[in-house]
Amino acid sequence: MADKTYNRIEKIQREVGDIITRCGPPPLEKDYSNVERILEKRRPSGCLPRSRSVNMREDRDFSKMGIDSFDRGYVHQLESLSEVEERDVAWIGALQVRYPKSELKLTDKYEGVSDDQLADRYWKGILSEKPSLEYATEKAKVISVENDLSPVRPSSLEAPLKQVAKNGERT
Protein backbone atom coordinates (compact mmCIF):
# COMPACT_ATOMS: atom_id res chain seq x y z
CA MET A 1 0.00 0.00 0.00
CA ALA A 2 2.82 2.41 0.77
CA ASP A 3 6.05 3.37 -0.92
CA LYS A 4 6.75 5.65 1.99
CA THR A 5 8.24 4.52 5.27
CA TYR A 6 7.76 5.89 8.77
CA ASN A 7 9.46 5.65 12.15
CA ARG A 8 8.04 4.38 15.41
CA ILE A 9 9.78 3.94 18.75
CA GLU A 10 8.81 1.08 21.06
CA LYS A 11 10.07 -0.25 24.35
CA ILE A 12 10.47 -3.73 22.90
CA GLN A 13 12.39 -4.69 19.79
CA ARG A 14 10.11 -6.27 17.21
CA GLU A 15 11.15 -8.60 14.41
CA VAL A 16 11.39 -7.56 10.78
CA GLY A 17 8.15 -8.66 9.13
CA ASP A 18 6.02 -8.22 12.28
CA ILE A 19 2.62 -6.65 11.67
CA ILE A 20 1.72 -3.94 14.17
CA THR A 21 -1.91 -3.21 15.04
CA ARG A 22 -3.42 -1.53 18.07
CA CYS A 23 -6.52 -2.26 20.08
CA GLY A 24 -7.22 -0.87 23.51
CA PRO A 25 -7.64 2.45 25.24
CA PRO A 26 -6.42 5.54 23.38
CA PRO A 27 -2.77 6.44 24.03
CA LEU A 28 -3.36 9.26 26.55
CA GLU A 29 -6.32 7.71 28.37
CA LYS A 30 -4.43 7.05 31.61
CA ASP A 31 -3.09 10.57 32.20
CA TYR A 32 -5.26 12.73 29.94
CA SER A 33 -8.68 11.08 29.83
CA ASN A 34 -10.42 14.47 29.35
CA VAL A 35 -8.30 15.12 26.27
CA GLU A 36 -9.12 11.70 24.80
CA ARG A 37 -12.85 12.23 25.50
CA ILE A 38 -12.81 15.59 23.70
CA LEU A 39 -10.96 14.09 20.74
CA GLU A 40 -13.26 11.07 20.48
CA LYS A 41 -16.39 13.23 20.77
CA ARG A 42 -15.22 15.29 17.75
CA ARG A 43 -13.80 12.42 15.68
CA PRO A 44 -15.34 12.33 12.20
CA SER A 45 -16.78 8.92 11.32
CA GLY A 46 -14.23 8.46 8.53
CA CYS A 47 -11.20 8.92 10.80
CA LEU A 48 -9.41 6.06 12.48
CA PRO A 49 -10.07 6.04 16.26
CA ARG A 50 -7.02 6.76 18.39
CA SER A 51 -7.63 3.46 20.20
CA ARG A 52 -6.83 1.63 16.93
CA SER A 53 -4.11 3.96 15.61
CA VAL A 54 -0.55 2.85 15.06
CA ASN A 55 1.18 6.23 15.36
CA MET A 56 4.34 6.93 13.38
CA ARG A 57 6.58 9.83 12.32
CA GLU A 58 8.56 10.69 9.23
CA ASP A 59 11.40 11.94 11.40
CA ARG A 60 12.83 10.57 14.65
CA ASP A 61 11.50 13.30 16.98
CA PHE A 62 9.32 11.30 19.34
CA SER A 63 9.43 13.96 22.09
CA LYS A 64 5.91 15.25 21.38
CA MET A 65 4.27 11.87 20.91
CA GLY A 66 3.00 11.52 24.48
CA ILE A 67 5.39 8.69 25.34
CA ASP A 68 6.16 8.74 29.03
CA SER A 69 6.22 5.05 29.99
CA PHE A 70 9.85 4.63 28.81
CA ASP A 71 12.85 6.91 28.16
CA ARG A 72 14.68 4.84 25.55
CA GLY A 73 13.38 2.50 22.91
CA TYR A 74 14.01 0.78 19.61
CA VAL A 75 13.31 2.72 16.44
CA HIS A 76 11.41 0.67 13.90
CA GLN A 77 10.99 1.61 10.27
CA LEU A 78 7.46 0.80 9.14
CA GLU A 79 5.52 0.45 5.95
CA SER A 80 1.82 1.15 6.26
CA LEU A 81 -0.53 -1.63 5.18
CA SER A 82 -3.64 0.56 5.38
CA GLU A 83 -4.62 4.17 4.76
CA VAL A 84 -2.49 6.80 6.50
CA GLU A 85 -3.92 9.89 8.20
CA GLU A 86 -1.73 12.95 8.87
CA ARG A 87 -2.39 14.77 12.15
CA ASP A 88 -0.70 17.66 13.98
CA VAL A 89 -0.17 16.65 17.62
CA ALA A 90 0.36 20.32 18.56
CA TRP A 91 -3.45 20.50 18.91
CA ILE A 92 -3.36 17.65 21.43
CA GLY A 93 -0.62 19.49 23.29
CA ALA A 94 -2.88 22.54 23.48
CA LEU A 95 -5.60 20.39 25.06
CA GLN A 96 -3.10 18.85 27.47
CA VAL A 97 -2.21 22.35 28.67
CA ARG A 98 -5.88 22.87 29.54
CA TYR A 99 -6.28 19.48 31.23
CA PRO A 100 -2.88 18.70 32.77
CA LYS A 101 -2.18 15.42 34.53
CA SER A 102 -0.84 17.24 37.60
CA GLU A 103 -1.06 20.70 39.06
CA LEU A 104 1.31 21.93 36.38
CA LYS A 105 0.12 25.25 34.95
CA LEU A 106 1.26 26.15 31.45
CA THR A 107 0.33 29.08 29.23
CA ASP A 108 -2.65 28.46 26.97
CA LYS A 109 -1.55 29.69 23.53
CA TYR A 110 -5.05 29.27 22.09
CA GLU A 111 -7.27 31.08 24.60
CA GLY A 112 -9.79 32.19 21.96
CA VAL A 113 -10.13 28.67 20.54
CA SER A 114 -12.57 26.19 22.10
CA ASP A 115 -11.70 22.59 23.01
CA ASP A 116 -13.93 21.40 20.18
CA GLN A 117 -12.15 23.66 17.69
CA LEU A 118 -8.75 22.32 18.79
CA ALA A 119 -10.02 18.75 18.36
CA ASP A 120 -11.47 19.60 14.94
CA ARG A 121 -8.12 21.03 13.82
CA TYR A 122 -6.42 17.81 14.90
CA TRP A 123 -8.85 15.54 13.03
CA LYS A 124 -8.95 17.71 9.89
CA GLY A 125 -5.17 17.76 9.62
CA ILE A 126 -4.95 21.54 9.96
CA LEU A 127 -1.38 22.56 10.69
CA SER A 128 -0.45 24.73 13.67
CA GLU A 129 2.19 27.47 13.60
CA LYS A 130 4.79 24.88 14.64
CA PRO A 131 3.45 21.53 13.42
CA SER A 132 4.55 18.23 14.90
CA LEU A 133 3.13 15.59 12.62
CA GLU A 134 2.09 12.08 13.44
CA TYR A 135 0.90 9.60 10.88
CA ALA A 136 -1.78 7.17 11.96
CA THR A 137 -2.61 3.87 10.32
CA GLU A 138 -4.51 0.76 11.36
CA LYS A 139 -1.83 -1.72 10.33
CA ALA A 140 1.89 -1.44 9.59
CA LYS A 141 4.71 -3.85 8.80
CA VAL A 142 8.17 -3.66 10.37
CA ILE A 143 10.71 -3.40 7.55
CA SER A 144 13.75 -2.67 9.72
CA VAL A 145 14.64 -2.18 13.36
CA GLU A 146 17.68 -0.67 15.02
CA ASN A 147 19.69 -2.76 17.48
CA ASP A 148 20.64 0.19 19.70
CA LEU A 149 18.30 1.99 22.07
CA SER A 150 17.44 5.59 21.18
CA PRO A 151 16.15 8.30 23.52
CA VAL A 152 12.48 9.22 23.30
CA ARG A 153 13.43 12.80 24.18
CA PRO A 154 16.93 13.45 22.83
CA SER A 155 19.01 15.88 24.85
CA SER A 156 21.13 18.55 23.20
CA LEU A 157 23.92 17.19 25.42
CA GLU A 158 23.64 13.62 24.13
CA ALA A 159 26.15 13.94 21.27
CA PRO A 160 28.77 15.82 23.35
CA LEU A 161 28.40 13.28 26.19
CA LYS A 162 28.90 10.38 23.76
CA GLN A 163 32.04 12.09 22.46
CA VAL A 164 33.38 12.57 26.01
CA ALA A 165 32.68 8.90 26.78
CA LYS A 166 34.40 7.86 23.55
CA ASN A 167 37.45 10.00 24.38
CA GLY A 168 37.56 8.49 27.88
CA GLU A 169 37.74 4.99 26.39
CA ARG A 170 40.91 5.87 24.48
CA THR A 171 43.00 6.71 27.54
Into how many domains does the chain fold? Answer: 1
The boundaries of the domain holding residue 88 are: 5-170
In CATH, what number is assigned to the domain containing residue 17?
Answer: 3.20.170
The span from the CA of 139 to the CA of 54, in Å, is: 7
Nearest of 73, 23, 15, 28 to residue 48 by alpha carbon: 23
Per the CB < 8 A criterion, the answer to whether 85 and 124 are in contact is: no
User: What does pLDDT average to over the chain?
Assistant: 87
Per-residue pLDDT at 171 exceeds 80: no
pLDDT for 1 beyond 60: no
Q: Looking at residue 128, what is its pLDDT?
A: 95
User: 63-67, 82-86, 107-111: which range is least confident on average?
Assistant: 63-67
Separation between Cα atoms, residue 122 and residue 142, nearest integer Å = 26
* pLDDT tens digits along 19-61: 999 999 998 898 899 999 999 999 999 999 999 999 999 998 8
pLDDT value at 77 more than 80: yes
pLDDT of residue 103: 73
Q: Tell me the helices (H) and strands (E) count for the chain, helix number first.
A: 4, 8
Read off the pTM: 0.81
